[in-house]
Amino acid sequence: MTYRELGRTGWKVSGISFGAWAIGGAWGAVDDVESMAALRAAIDCGVNFIDTADVYGMGRSERLIAELKRERKEQIVVATKAGRRLSPHTADGYNEKNLGAFIDDSLRNLATDCLDLLQLHCPPTDVYYRPEVFGAMDRFVEAGKVRFYGVSVERVEEALKALEYPNVQTVQIIFNCFRQRPANLFFEHAKRNRVGILARVPLASGLLTGKLNRDSQFEADDHRNFNRHGEAFDVGETFAGVDFDDGLAAVEEIRKLLPSGIGMAQFALRWILMFDAVTCAIPGGKRPAQVAENCSAADLPAIPEETMHAVRRIYDERIKHHVHQKW
Ligand SMILES: NC(=O)c1ccc[n+]([C@@H]2O[C@H](COP(=O)([O-])OP(=O)(O)OC[C@H]3O[C@@H](n4cnc5c(N)ncnc54)[C@H](OP(=O)(O)O)[C@@H]3O)[C@@H](O)[C@H]2O)c1
């Protein structure tokens, strides 16, 4: 495992960290025994940073992480999120009272008296134009309920706007071989501001593992089934917003670039770590073997420049028109 500075927090976190959405729900059947095994595998591989949210299984993901923390001695930084339990999900809902109540629930679920890192969970764009929301976050820090805070965004412009709030420590954004726009401008600005970047959906919901094909089936309660066209939440969160068949075709092009002995998932994750503005990728995983394979990407040699160019060409030719101007 390799480690990188997380913004100005003073923490050094694993380049490949752990995304804990799937162990909470919305990815088909989930088994807590296997989820715990996946979490333990992550720590065994050197992972020291876990991303979760109150809404992942309505506390289920957070509670599993609390269990992990009880049984392990290693320092584990937990980033959680608040806001998505609002119904309706509006900018007005992001007020001090509601956020305070969400924080109290996360403190209970995570069995702690202070959250390491709290992220606003893809709020409506308007929230970034409400300094009072960030003022409230400052007060949660002063009150000792939250150590640091950041944001999880859908759009590059939201990420850029979030950088204007001086106490934002991290920005979580979709970044992978199929979502390259953040690297154009945002990375440079985040680096200058020493704001950490968490690259989410790094495997494009499994597309970039190379294991899916046209016949792949997903359970009814897996978002790759029920949110394929953005029916439940932003379509960009499912297969990174890429048309499934076009994504499969692009994966076959990328597959031709793989050095021998390296799997597609490992390659896709190593590709993300080629960008030094990125603090970590947070791949999801429900099984220990997946987690171990993903973590091994951190120790792979650098991807040659011509291969990086080739991935960019595949993006430009096959993927860009689906996604580039949408987020
Ligand atoms: N709005 C937000 O803030 C937001 C939104 C989305 C995600 N996130 C965060 O980002 C994290 C990562 O994104 P994600 O989980 O949506 O997508 P992802 O990491 O791109 O894909 C994860 C899925 O790919 C499959 N997979 C993972 N490793 C594999 C391997 N080595 N071989 C084969 N299959 C593998 C697993 O699904 P199967 O085995 O079931 O195929 C896994 O659940 C989340 O867990 C969450 O923490 C945040």
Calculate how far, in angstroms, residue 23's C-alpha sits from the geometric centre of ligand 1: 10
pLDDT at 26: 87
Does ligand 1 lie within 6 Å of residue 282's CB atom?
A: yes
Which numbered atom of ligand 1 lies nearest the CA of 293?
A: 31
pLDDT at 84: 97
pLDDT digits (tens, 9 = 90+) for 124-133: 999 999 999 9
Does ligand 1 lie within 6 Å of residue 210's CB atom?
A: no
The predicted model scores a pTM of 0.97
Residue nearest to atom 15 of ligand 1 (CA): 284
For 271, residues 6+ apart whose C-beta sits below 8 A from its C-beta are 176, 177, 303, 308, 311
Calculate how far, in angstroms, residue 35's C-alpha sits from the geometric centre of ligand 1: 13
Does ligand 1 lie within 6 Å of residue 201's CB atom?
A: yes
pLDDT at 9: 97
pLDDT at 8 over 90: yes
Calculate how far, in angstroms, residue 44's C-alpha sits from the geometric centre of ligand 1: 19
pLDDT band at 178 (very low <50, low <70, confident <90, very high): very high
pLDDT digits (tens, 9 = 90+) for 186-232: 999 999 999 999 999 999 999 999 999 999 999 999 999 999 999 99
pLDDT digits (tens, 9 = 90+) for 28-83: 999 999 999 999 999 999 999 999 999 999 999 999 999 999 999 999 999 999 99
Closest CA to 148 of 194, 185, 109: 194
* Burial of 242 (C-beta count, 10 Å sphere; 0-12/13-18/19+): buried
pLDDT digits (tens, 9 = 90+) for 226-266: 999 999 999 999 999 999 999 999 999 999 999 999 999 99
Calculate how far, in angstroms, residue 290's C-alpha sits from the geometric centre of ligand 1: 10
Does ligand 1 lie within 6 Å of residue 200's CB atom?
A: yes
Amino acid at 158: E
